[in-house]
């Protein structure tokens, strides 16, 4: 059977563990040469360690695949450029990017510091922009290429204590859509995946009560390797007609997610006053209000 990624070169950021590791391994198993990027920090972004990236490269090579480690930071424009250059210098080209690198600095909004805001936005949103921008010039020149950006239902739907993370992840959806629109004439595609998976990024979920323990047990069923097949598919030529979409993966389920569109409208030929909006406009719209739900409220059933 032909491997779906034969001859392709891909960059996977944050590939030293969790979802990124599984994506990198799956890309290599399907024939891709992989740049395994990871600076080896803690989940909150502290420290640096080449070990995780080197370990994944070793695993790929032992399985007969091609890979090279890179420890540059996506949060720095020059670092991101070096990540893409690593692919081109080592393997001669670049065909795909998975923007997976991320950190967490969870805090309720009224307590969140500017540093906690900046750090998360810089890695998730700036990092994805920097790496994508560096790859975009190569993609435009060769008139081919694909991006996969890892978003989150924390941004698409909502969650407690994650204003920084949620803002970055929803911003990524808009970035992906803009890339798709701007670069479709060069046969370049850009899609998002919102993963449900147990990894060290969510390993800090409390388990103090039986309810919390049961919730974590369900999440632990959703292993990172469940995310990898869709990422491989989206970077392959088999997905040439799939562009500007947002998918979610939850254990064995794949969802295509809605994107903001008008739900209902009201019109008044004479125009609106604040009082008339209060008396007539808003009551007419209220039945279509989006509920104030979190991700767990929308995806309320057990993983399938």
pLDDT in tens, 200-238: 555 556 667 777 676 667 667 788 999 999 999 999 999
Domain ranges of the chain: 9-259
CA–centroid distance for 138 within its chain: 21
Identify the segments of the chain with pLDDT beneath 50: none
Q: What is the pLDDT of residue 304?
A: 81
Burial level of 168, CB count in 10 A (0-12/13-18/19+)?
Answer: buried
Would you call 233 a catalytic residue per the annotation? no
Strand partners, 146: 96, 189
CATH number of 9-259: 3.40.50.720
**Calculated CA dihedral for residues 144, 93, 239, 63, nearest 10 degrees:** 170
What is the pLDDT, as a whole number, of residue 208? 74
Whole-Å CA distances, 197 to 24, 41, 241, 297: 16, 20, 27, 17
Catalytic residue among 126, 129, 130, 165: 165
Helix (H) or strand (E) holding 214: helix 210-221
Instruction: Identify the pLDDT of residue 260.
Output: 96
* pLDDT value, residue 40: 82
């Amino acid at each position: 059977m032909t491997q779906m990624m034969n001859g392709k070169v891909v960059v996977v950021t944050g590939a030293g563990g969790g979802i990124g590791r599984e994506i990198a391994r799956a890309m290599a198993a399907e024939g891709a040469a992989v740049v395994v990027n990871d600076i080896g920090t803690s989940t909150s972004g502290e420290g640096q360690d080449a070990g995780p990236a080197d370990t994944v490269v070793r695993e790929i090579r032992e399985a007969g695949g091609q890979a090279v480690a890179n420890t540059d930071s996506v949060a720095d424009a020059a670092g991101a450029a070096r990540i893409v250059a690593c692919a081109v210098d080592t393997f001669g080209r670049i065909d795909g990017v998975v923007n997976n690198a991320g950190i967490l600095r969870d805090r309720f909004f009224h307590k969140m510091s500017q540093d906690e805001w900046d750090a998360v936005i810089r890695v998730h949103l700036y990092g994805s922009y920097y790496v994508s921008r560096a790859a975009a010039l190569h993609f435009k020149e060769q008139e081919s290429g694909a991006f996969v950006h890892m978003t989150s239902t924390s941004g698409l739907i909502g969650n407690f204590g994650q204003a920084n993370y949620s803002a970055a992840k929803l911003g990524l959806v808009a970035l992906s859509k803009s890339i798709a629109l701007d670069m479709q004439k060069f046969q370049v595609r850009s899609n998002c995946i919102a993963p449900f998976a147990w990894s060290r990024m969510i390993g800090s979920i409390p388990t103090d009560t039986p309810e919390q323990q049961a919730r974590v047990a369900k999440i632990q069923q959703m292993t990172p390797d469940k995310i990898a097949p869709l990422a491989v598919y989206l970077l392959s030529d088999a997905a040439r007609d799939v562009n500007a979409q947002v998918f979610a993966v939850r254990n064995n389920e794949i969802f295509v997610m809605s994107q903001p569109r008008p739900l209902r409208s009201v019109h008044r030929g004479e125009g609106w006053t604040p009082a008339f909006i209060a008396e007539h406009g808003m009551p007419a719209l209220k039945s279509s209000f989006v509920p104030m739900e979190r991700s767990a409220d929308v995806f309320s059933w057990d993983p399938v």
